[in-house]
Amino acid sequence: MNAPLNIDLHTHSNCSDGVLTPAELVAHAAAAGVHVMALTDHDSVAGLDAARSAANEFRVGLVPGVEISSSWRAQAIHVLGLWIDPAAATLRDMLRSQAELRRVRMRGICTRLEKIGLPGAALLGAVEAQPGIPTRSHLAAALLAAGHIARIDEAFRKYLGKGKPGHVPIEWPALPQVIGAILSAGGVAVLAHPGRYLLSGGARQRLLADFTAAGGTGLEIMSGGNGAQHVEASTVLALKYGLAGSVGSDFHSPQFVWNPLGRSLKLPDCITPVWRGLLP
């Protein structure tokens, strides 16, 4: 019998808040034994060409992807678009406007940080000097580099999270708009890390219902760092809403050694893989 495929459909490069270039990311995935991977940068497809070249070189199957930020009941929800055509016009337009929303938000956050005595202008300069679209991870890294925090998660707890002095609420496009852009680019829409949203059980079910009604067809059953309990909960949700299952590490950096690329992920047998019929 053939060995099972090692599949990782959720990874980040430095075109968003990952630390590796797309080519380095693919090389790392190949070295980790990954057979098929998706590059899914936050609101950006800028890394896909370089990832494609590297994937050809390293003989890794590359799924063109993106992780789009959406708003649902004032909460940011992440939708993975997999097997997308990055050149599709509606998707391009949406990503252009997402990048602009992010730039405006970053300036707003830095203005707020300035007001509480942090060097907002310098922090903004440090973020804008980075390649790729600006994310709060970039700002957290700048805060760490300048010695204002001791650990990355402190940036979110003290400054950037909801209710903190540097929090700038942002209205991302709604689920139907995000899923519509993915579908019109020929892609498949997968709800990322369903266990990570701060929702009651009932609200999570309504999210799944709205996601499915808008044309979403996949749920990330396993996402980096999640335990068996989470797998079970998302399996139940996928079955209830008739969603296929996806797997991904949500890899950002080799420094996070507990969350490597392509850690052997296996979908429960009762779940239809989102990649069924889509891999060569």
Question: With binding defined as CB under 5 A, does residue 220 bind Mn ion?
Answer: no
Q: Token pair of 69, please?
A: 């930020």
- H-type alpha helices, the chain: 22-31, 48-58, 89-115, 120-128, 136-145, 152-155, 175-184, 201-213, 228-241
Question: With binding defined as CB under 5 A, does residue 78 bind Mn ion?
Answer: yes
Task: Give the C-alpha separation, 144 to 124, whole Å.
Answer: 14
Number of residues that bind ligand AMP (CB under 6 A): 10
Question: With binding defined as CB under 5 A, does residue 102 bind Mn ion?
Answer: no
Choose between 28 and 42: whose C-beta lies nearer to ligand AMP: 42
Choose between 30 and 39: whose C-beta lies nearer to ligand AMP: 39
Handedness of CA 144, 150, 153, 158 (dihedral sign): negative
Choose between 270 and 274: whose C-beta lies nearer to Mn ion: 274
Run of H or E residues at 76: strand 75-82
- Three-state secondary-structure class, residue 63: strand
Question: With binding defined as CB under 6 A, does residue 17 bind ligand AMP?
Answer: yes
Choose between 6 and 137: whose C-beta lies nearer to ligand AMP: 137
Choose between 42 and 112: whose C-beta lies nearer to ligand AMP: 42
- Three-state secondary-structure class, residue 189: strand
In sequence order, the 6+-apart residues with CB closer than 8 A to the CB of 186 are: 83, 84, 85, 88
Question: With binding defined as CB under 6 A, does residue 137 bind ligand AMP?
Answer: yes
Q: Which of residues 210-229 bind ligand AMP (CB under 6 A)?
A: none
Q: Which of residues 147-166 bind ligand AMP (CB under 6 A)?
A: 152-153, 156
Residue nearest to ligand AMP (CB): 135
Interaction partner, residue 153 (ligand AMP, Mn ion, none; CB < 5-8 Å by kind):
ligand AMP
Residues 177 and 94: beta-carbon distance below 8 Å: yes
Handedness of CA 237, 238, 239, 241 (dihedral sign): positive
To the nearest whole angstrom, how small is the minimum distance from the Cβ of residue 218 to ligand AMP? 19
Question: 183-202 mask for Mn ion (x: CB under 5 A)?
Answer: ---------x----------
Question: With binding defined as CB under 6 A, does residue 136 bind ligand AMP?
Answer: yes
The one among 88, 140, 250, 271 contacting Mn ion by CB under 5 A: 250
Residues 70 and 172: beta-carbon distance below 8 Å: yes
Q: Which of residues 106-135 bind Mn ion (CB under 5 A)?
A: none
Question: With binding defined as CB under 6 A, does residue 135 bind ligand AMP?
Answer: yes
Question: With binding defined as CB under 6 A, does residue 174 bind ligand AMP?
Answer: no
Q: Token pair of 71, please?
A: 């708003």
Q: Token pair of 121, please?
A: 């202008």
Q: Which of residues 14-73 bind Mn ion (CB under 5 A)?
A: 17, 67
Task: Give the C-alpha separation, 179 to 269, whole Å.
Answer: 27
Question: With binding defined as CB under 6 A, does residue 193 bind ligand AMP?
Answer: no
For residue 237, how far is the Cα from the chain centroid?
A: 20
Give residues in contact with Mn ion (CB under 5 A). 17, 67, 78, 192, 250
Give residues in contact with ligand AMP (CB under 6 A). 17, 42, 69, 135-137, 152-153, 156, 252
